[in-house]
């Protein structure tokens, strides 16, 4: 896969997250309400700042992406509606795509996923989307 420039990476994160980091006023309410912030090297309000200031490489290399629980506590507390969780999840997806981990090969689908089994439709659709 070709390496993305900083601008392309930021654009990709913003497009897929739907967030508008320019709204952030750095109040820190998102970080204060985050149950996983003790395990993060970059708290949610700084993730927003880093992405806004084109410091995406630091965000992509941080352990914050994996410490985020996706609980949306930050989004609930944000007075400006920035939704840092969406930025974190979009950045996580960029990392996974770079590692090609988002691709699911047909042989990787467990044997229990069978046409005769009662598999939730959501599981089947998600696996098909990941397979490409």
CATH number for the domain harbouring residue 46 = 1.10.1060.10
**How far apart, in Å, are the Cα atoms of 63 and each of 26, 68, 110, 132?**
21, 9, 29, 27
What does the buried/exposed string (b/e) look like for 16-28 if buried means 16 or more CB atoms within 10 Å of the residue's CB? ebebebeebeeee
- Looking at per-residue pLDDT, the higher value among 2 and 24 belongs to 24
Alpha carbons 76 and 90: distance in angstroms, whole number: 18
pLDDT of res. 1: 41
Instruction: Kindly state whether residues 27 and 79 are assigned to the same domain.
Output: yes
Does 1 reside within a domain? Answer: no
Tell me how many degrees the CA angle 55-58-36 measures, rounded to the nearest 5: 115
- DSSP letter (8 states) at residue 31: H
Instruction: Tell me if residue 84 falls in helix, strand or coil.
Output: helix
Q: What is the pTM of this model?
A: 0.72
Tell me the per-residue pLDDT of 51-85, one tens digit each, with 9 for 90 and over.
Answer: 999 999 999 999 999 999 989 999 999 999 999 99
- Asked if 116 and 53 sit in the same domain, the reply is no
User: Where do we find the tokens 């770079």?
Assistant: 98
pLDDT, tens digit, for every residue of 14-46? 999 999 999 999 999 999 999 998 999 999 999
**116 has pLDDT over 90:** no
* pLDDT band per the 50, 70, 90 thresholds, residue 109: low
Average pLDDT over residues 91-120: 69
pLDDT band at 100 (very low <50, low <70, confident <90, very high): confident
Answer yes or no: do 130 and 81 share one domain.
no
Let me know whether 60 and 124 are in one domain: no
Domain range for 70: 6-101
């Amino acid at each position: 896969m070709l390496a993305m420039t900083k601008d392309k990476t930021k654009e990709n994160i913003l497009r897929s997250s739907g967030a508008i980091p320019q709204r952030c006023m750095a109040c820190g309410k998102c970080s204060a309400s985050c149950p996983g912030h003790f395990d993060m090297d970059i708290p949610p309000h700084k993730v927003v700042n880093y992405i806004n200031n084109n410091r995406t490489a630091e965000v992509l290399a941080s352990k914050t992406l994996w410490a985020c629980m996706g609980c949306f506590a930050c989004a609930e507390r944000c007075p400006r509606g920035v939704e840092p969780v969406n930025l974190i999840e979009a950045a996580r997806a960029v990392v996974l795509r770079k590692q090609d981990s988002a691709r699911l090969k047909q042989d990787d689908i467990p044997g229990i996923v069978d046409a005769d089994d009662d598999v939730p439709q959501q599981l089947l659709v998600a696996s098909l989307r990941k397979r490409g």
